[in-house]
A and B are shown apart, each in its own frame.
Chain A
Amino acid sequence: MTTEALPAVKSLAIDKPFNPWRAMLVRLLRNRSAQIGLVILAFLLLVSVGAPIIATHDPIDFSDPNNVTRTPPCIHVLGCPADQPQYLFGLDGNGRDLFSRVVYATQTSLFIGVATVTFGIIVGTVIGALAGYAGGWFDNIIMRFMDVLLAFPSLLLAISLVAVLRPIIIGGGLSPLIPALFAIGFVAIPVYARIVRASVLSIKEQDFVSADRALGVSPARLLFHRILPNALTPLLVQGTLGVATAILDAAALGFLGLGQQPPFPEWGTMLGTERNSVFNAPHLLIFPGLAIMITVLSFNLLGDGLRDALDPRLYR
């Protein structure tokens, strides 16, 4: 009797402590748009990691042995004659396999999105934390400067930055992607700086922080243990949505010829080089464009889902 009753009593007595992260995760996984976003994102990650296996041809070095270009997709199971070579998305203007290029470009775009946002968050956090922590004229100058950067349409500022950086960096033999990466990361800084500064200001005067300071806790520890955890939620939401914007902006720069350069596969660059084929070989524009749209969509959906799941105001 007593042995049977024990487990029930035990589970009552040692209730699991409330774990906010777990609660958030549960809410996130129950959110419809987050679910869809995560599934697409998982698929994209799989494609980018597995690109060497998934791609049917080399994305750069392969070109069709018959010297044909811009042929439409040829898929054997869908009725394409078996004596013709199979190209899932057709061939591009240089006889390269479009499918393999689209697959490999997933790596480029995901890298651009994550790298630029990481850069923006790190620099923005340092700037925002310094401004909020120091206060006074320093805060004023820094934040007014952030306002000025926000006064430029972001794509336009990125274009001007690339304009200036391009000749130097390409002249120095570095990847043409670097000016675009820097420009997109740079224009994102003010958004994150504002978030972190607001978070610093909101907790700076609270008792537990004053106590920490009285105890002589270092500013760095304050930043990492007190301020950043408070800013994490908005940073996560904004960062996820920011990846979507960054991928769109990178594609735009690529389209204008200011991003990744051919022959390296990048969706925007592929659209830019084949833009005149829209009438006679539309597949060259449909597939890379769809790839951009799906990737951006997944980050947007995940960002929306994160916002709904992480915003405690909605659950009070």
Chain B
Amino acid sequence: MGQFLLRRLLLIVPVLLGIIFVTFVIVHAIPGDPCSAMLGEHATQAVCDAFKERFGLNDNVLVQFGRYAGNLLTGDLGTSIKYGRPVGDILLERLPMTLELSIGALLFAVLVGIPLGIISAYRHNSTLDAATMVGANVGVSMPVFWLGLLLAAFFGVALKGSFLQLPTSSRLTAGVTIAPLATTWNLQDLQGFSKGVVTFLSNMVTFNALVTGNWKVYGDALKHLILPSIALGTIPLAIIARITRSNLLDVLGLDYIRTARAKGLTERVVVFKHAMRNAMLPLVTVIGLQFGGLLGGAVLTESVFGLPGVGKFLVDSIFQRDYPVVQGFTLAIALIFVFVNLIVDISYAYLDPRVRLS
């Protein structure tokens, strides 16, 4: 296992370098004068010179790349042109929302998708099975943002006044606020990395409310996450349900299942203890791969539900040509995706000895 871990970690180094390279190239591939591209055509020569000097755009491209990569190693993701703030600080504010949303969507997809898949496989060819498979096909074909808008219309407007009414925008109800963890725990004088971690956790509202026991805020935050999570989680749900079903169907036809039934085990033990263990293996990979799609889809979901995550900020930055933000956000999301895939590979190797031995 140790050897496998080491090899897997070493393999990630070129990918990380590649990601840094690609995000660098994306911004530097803009032909023409970077100044007029970022500040607009009407920027004066003096403003341009100062701008180029400040961002080191007069240097050799290789020098610029070296500086970019070196800065990244110290945690410096660049500075927003529009806000003049470090991109890292903006990420610490925005990323927690996106992660909360992605985790919420993944939970919804897994908690609904796996049981649906199990039932469809077990009641193979039943009406429920057929309905689930039709639903799964429709589910993967629906645009995330469209589903989000329909959910908002239904739960926010059609059910208005009923107990099922759900909030359709923003992260918390107006007036509901929560103090930063740094204030609650008296950690204002933290610096550097630990300060970043505390800010990050503090901005993860559900986490903050949970650890400080602020149930009112916790409930409110969860309520605001329900509709976005359903919208974002529907595509992975459909995929997970389909794969659970087909894997379980394959496994249920194997000899050792027949043996298990023949020796008189209850159906519950056969399905959950014998069959599911093997059927679950490929699911781990699928769930991990879905996370990348979730991060991309989160951009759309946040836009629909007005959530202050990275997605909305990213799209706004594109229109404002705030390229350091585009660069930093793209990089951060790609890094998260790589990290999630790493965890998936490791857990896969942990669950299936054949992987780490091969």
In the complex, the answer to whether A144 meets B143 with C-beta atoms within 8 Å is no
Task: Indicate whether A163 sits within 8 Å of B150 (C-beta atoms), given known contacts A155-B297, A244-B141.
Answer: no
Is A301 close to B, CB under 8 A?
yes
A residues less than 8 Å from B110 (CB atoms): none
* Most-contacted residue by chain A among B27, B318, B327 (CB, 10 A): B318
Is A156 close to B, CB under 8 A?
yes
B residues less than 8 Å from A144 (CB atoms): 14-15, 18
Interface 1/0 per residue, B11-45 and A, CB below 8 Å: 00011001101110011011110000100000000
Task: Indicate whether A155 sits within 8 Å of B296 (C-beta atoms), given known contacts A255-B145, A292-B146.
Answer: yes
Is B87 close to A, CB under 8 A?
no
How far apart are A246's CB and chain B's nearest CB, in angstroms? Answer: 13
How far apart are A9's CB and chain B's nearest CB, in angstroms? Answer: 45
In the complex, the answer to whether B326 meets A300 with C-beta atoms within 8 Å is no
In the complex, the answer to whether B330 meets A162 with C-beta atoms within 8 Å is no
Chain A facing B: main interface SS: helix
B residues less than 8 Å from A160 (CB atoms): 23, 26, 326-327, 330
> For chain A, which range describes its interface: under 10, 10 to 19, 20 to 34, or 35 or more residues?
35 or more
Within the assembled complex, what's the spacing in Å between the Cα atoms of A282 and B154?
Answer: 10
A residues less than 8 Å from B153 (CB atoms): 278-279, 282, 285
In the complex, the answer to whether A164 meets B145 with C-beta atoms within 8 Å is no
Is A149 close to B, CB under 8 A?
yes
How far apart are B141's CB and chain A's nearest CB, in angstroms? Answer: 4
Chain B facing A: main interface SS: helix
In the complex, the answer to whether A252 meets B143 with C-beta atoms within 8 Å is yes
Within the assembled complex, what's the spacing in Å between the Cα atoms of A160 and B297?
Answer: 14
Within the assembled complex, what's the spacing in Å between the Cα atoms of A130 and B14?
Answer: 21
In the complex, the answer to whether A275 meets B299 with C-beta atoms within 8 Å is no
* Most-contacted residue by chain B among A159, A271, A292 (CB, 10 A): A159
Within the assembled complex, what's the spacing in Å between the Cα atoms of A160 and B322?
Answer: 11
B40 nearest CB neighbor, chain A only: A167
In the complex, the answer to whether B330 meets A156 with C-beta atoms within 8 Å is yes
A295 nearest CB neighbor, chain B only: B141
Interface residues in A266-289 by Cβ distance below 8 A to B read: 268, 271, 275, 278-279, 282, 285-286, 289
In the complex, the answer to whether B303 meets A256 with C-beta atoms within 8 Å is yes
A150 nearest CB neighbor, chain B only: B292
A residues less than 8 Å from B323 (CB atoms): 163-164
Contact of B150 among A151, A166, A285, A301 (CB under 8 A): A285
Interface residues in B297-313 by Cβ distance below 8 A to A read: 297, 299-300, 303-304
Given contacts A155-B300, A293-B138, 16 further A-B pairs with CB under 8 A are A151-B18, A152-B334, A159-B314, A161-B26, A164-B26, A168-B31, A168-B32, A244-B141, A252-B144, A258-B315, A271-B149, A275-B145, A279-B157, A285-B146, A289-B142, A297-B138
Interface residues in chain B, defined as those with a beta carbon under 8 Å from any beta carbon in chain A: 14-15, 18-19, 21-23, 26-27, 29-32, 37, 137-138, 140-146, 149-150, 152-153, 156-157, 292-293, 295-297, 299-300, 303-304, 314-315, 317-319, 321, 323, 326-327, 330, 333-334, 337-338, 341
Interface residues in chain A, defined as those with a beta carbon under 8 Å from any beta carbon in chain B: 33, 144-145, 147-149, 151-157, 159-164, 166-168, 244, 248, 251-252, 255-258, 268, 271, 275, 278-279, 282, 285-286, 289, 292-294, 296-297, 300-301, 304
